[in-house]
Structure 1
Amino acid sequence: MARHAKQRKVRKGRVFGTILLLLVLVVIGLGIAGFFQYKSSLKAAEADNQLKEFTFNGEAASGDSVNVLFIGSDSRGEDQGRSDSLMIAHYDKKKKEPKIVSLMRDTYVDIPGHGKNKINAAYSFGGPELVRQTVKENFGIDCNYYVVTSFESFPKVIDTLAPDGIEIDAEKDMSQNIDANIKAGKQKMDGHTLLQYARFRKDAEGDFGRVRRQQQVLEAVKDQAITATSVFKLPSVLGTVQGYTTTDLPTSLVLKTGMDFALGRTSDLETLTVPVKGTWQNERISGAGAVLRIDVAKNAAAVQDFIK
């Protein structure tokens, strides 16, 4: 009897050992497959990406908080041009809290080495590095990494993240000066239409309305595209998104943060628009045109309170 019991224990041990070995092999196999999916999609997107590489001197993130400078570029070939949209993306890796600060492109600030001008001129003068210096000097926030994406590649990124489109509750009818005819109300938008919606500013609100719609689009993408992406598809999606941007974000950070969003671990996206209410006025400056003259101290305090 004792001998039979011993044999059963041995057989059970072998079964559990075999199952454990199979699980390990499956995990390793999925990891290898995911890596090759990531590299393949990254290579294909990079071949189609016309953005150049930049020098950026942000300090690598060392704690739980990461600040990323997001620049939307409307460059044409060799003409780098001014930034068309500018944001600071903040993420607390421990608390899983994403935040976005949208900086109005006509905000009149000191640009190191170039005097006062609209903040979107910093990108034209010195790329992401000068934008980083400008943000730090005026608002006291240093960005660890940068991401530059062109409006040419934006639709491709969206269509990769959400092949069935993104649902948006459009604020109003829009068709003036955009390559789309958008009607008010809920609808599914592909990447091209979503870009036109985010860029529209031919109304009384101008850039303020456009920034609000950009934040609406970001929230919709976070809720619908990223969390709907399966874990198995994530490496391929991340490779495509990363390939259509120019960035110095570490791959490990991209993958870890992407998993947080894909698995729904993050809290709701919080947003702030700069300049904040009651701290600016319209002016026309010789050499700069129509600008937003801001109270720098009040806006710096608002940004720091929001992020920290």
Structure 2
Amino acid sequence: MESRQKKPTTRKWLRNLFIFFTLLIIAVGTYSIVQYNKGLSVAKEGPYKDDGTTFEPFEGPEPQFGEINILLIGSDSRGDDRGNSDTLMIAHYNQNTHDMKIASVMRDTYVDIPDHGKHKINAAFAFGGPELLRKTIKQNFDIDINYYAVIGFDGFPKIVDVLAPHGIEVDIPYEMSYGIGMTLHPGKQVLHGKELLGYVRFRQDRLSDFGRVGRQQEVMSKLKEQAVSIHSLVNLPKMLGIADPYIDTNVETGTLLAIGKGLIAGKSKQMETVRIPIEDSFVNERVDIGAVLSIDIDKNKQALKEFLSSSEELASQ
């Protein structure tokens, strides 16, 4: 008799549990839509909003063994004037270990661009968008790029202010003002969106473009720390909405969410960085197109491949 009374109680408990999770899913979905739309309303206008396919088809291969390479391109181009890429990075994410790495490629690196001969690598974006950049990296460094993301600088401050509402602390080595529309004074201070954009874009560095690349990697590392916080997890839909008009990418939403989840799982890990060309592998030269970095292609190819490869891959080679 006692066992007969337990069955209806168990069924009722399971039904209530099912209803609870159904309502939770609906609530989360509704919240995500509302927050995403809020993000869009904050962004309002951007260079890639409602553009459809802004660039030529990207033919990167599917990721293998949980290793994802994303080409990150910083651009301040407007309308049909694509211009050279201002910033070029390869973001590597390992889905198995949740490691994130960033390889910065100096924009004056002198390489062979398919069908265009020798040029600075940042010219590949102007000649043929992300797809030609992908081909250029494959031809020179033998690295497969799976996805791309072109980021408009107008959206950078907005994304930073949502991701890091209390700002990012940096140590400014000397006064920065030329070409950034503001004056940043030396010393440790907390910078917000527009100021942080000026910090990473300042070009009159005493270390030339090497200093700028170092600042970009510093900020990327600190933004990654913010990205794995509970605050960022809650605000993820809103951030995606804000970013949407300013980013042209072929990364699917599901992949982005998987990477975000993985970063949170591995949040204690430091983000590794490298700069291409590496030390003692290049010389400064002046050619018909201006000042370039003439590199030892074999040294840099090996360095980049080793940096982006997992320890398991290296052991099997």
Q: Give the TM-score normalised by structure 2.
A: 0.88
Q: Which whole-Å CA distance do the structure 1 matches of 2:225 and 2:151 have between them?
A: 21
Q: Which whole-Å CA distance do the structure 2 matches of 1:231 and 1:121 have between them?
A: 36
Give the corresponding residue for 1:307.
308
Q: Which whole-Å CA distance do the structure 1 matches of 2:266 and 2:31 have between them?
A: 20
CA shift for structure 1 position 258: 1.8
From 37, 40, 48, the equivalent of 2:34 is 37
C-alpha change, 1:61 and 1:185, in structure 2 (3 Å) is same
From 63, 72, 75, the equivalent of 2:74 is 72
> Is 1:241 the counterpart of 2:243 in the alignment?
yes
Q: Is the 8 A contact 1:71 1:83 kept in 2?
A: yes
CA shift for structure 1 position 166: 2.0
CA shift for structure 1 position 80: 1.0
Amino acid at match of 1:250: E
Which SS does the other structure have where 2:182 is aligned?
Answer: coil
> Is 1:27 the counterpart of 2:28 in the alignment?
no
C-alpha change, 1:97 and 1:203, in structure 2 (3 Å) is same
Amino acid at match of 1:194: L
From 15, 39, 45, the equivalent of 1:48 is 45
C-alpha change, 1:62 and 1:203, in structure 2 (3 Å) is closer
Correspondence list, 1:135-284, <5 A = 135-262=137-264, 265=267, 267-284=269-286
Q: Which whole-Å CA distance do the structure 1 matches of 2:91 and 2:301 have between them?
A: 16
CA shift for structure 1 position 190: 1.1
Q: Which whole-Å CA distance do the structure 2 matches of 1:231 and 1:22 have between them?
A: 25
Q: Deviations over 1:159-193 (max 9, x none)?
A: 22222222223333322332222223332211100
**Which 10-residue stretch deviates more, 121-130 or 221-230?**
221-230
Amino acid at match of 1:123: F
CA shift for structure 1 position 42: 6.5
Which SS does the other structure have where 1:48 is aligned?
Answer: coil
Q: Is the 8 A contact 1:172 1:185 kept in 2?
A: yes
Q: Which whole-Å CA distance do the structure 2 matches of 1:266 and 1:133 have between them?
A: 34
Q: Give the TM-score normalised by structure 1.
A: 0.90
Give the corresponding residue for 1:99.
101
**Which 10-residue stretch deviates more, 38-47 or 168-177?**
38-47
Q: Is the 8 A contact 1:146 1:249 kept in 2?
A: yes
Which SS does the other structure have where 1:108 is aligned?
Answer: strand
Amino acid at match of 2:143: I
Q: Is the 8 A contact 1:170 1:185 kept in 2?
A: yes
Give the corresponding residue for 1:115.
117
Amino acid at match of 1:126: G
Q: Deviations over 1:183-225 (max 9, x none)?
A: 2333221110001000113132010000000000001111124
Correspondence list, 1:83-94, <5 A = 83-94=85-96
CA shift for structure 1 position 154: 1.1
Q: Is the 8 A contact 2:98 2:266 kept in 1?
A: no
Q: CA RMSD in A?
A: 2.3
Which SS does the other structure have where 1:246 is aligned?
Answer: strand
Q: Is the 8 A contact 2:149 2:249 kept in 1?
A: yes
Amino acid at match of 1:235: P
Amino acid at match of 2:296: D
Q: Is the 8 A contact 1:98 1:266 kept in 2?
A: no
User: Number of matched residues?
Assistant: 304
Q: Which whole-Å CA distance do the structure 1 matches of 2:234 and 2:4 have between them?
A: 40
C-alpha change, 1:140 and 1:42, in structure 2 (3 Å) is farther
Q: Deviations over 1:23-64 (max 9, x none)?
A: 312432234224423652575478512135112111232430
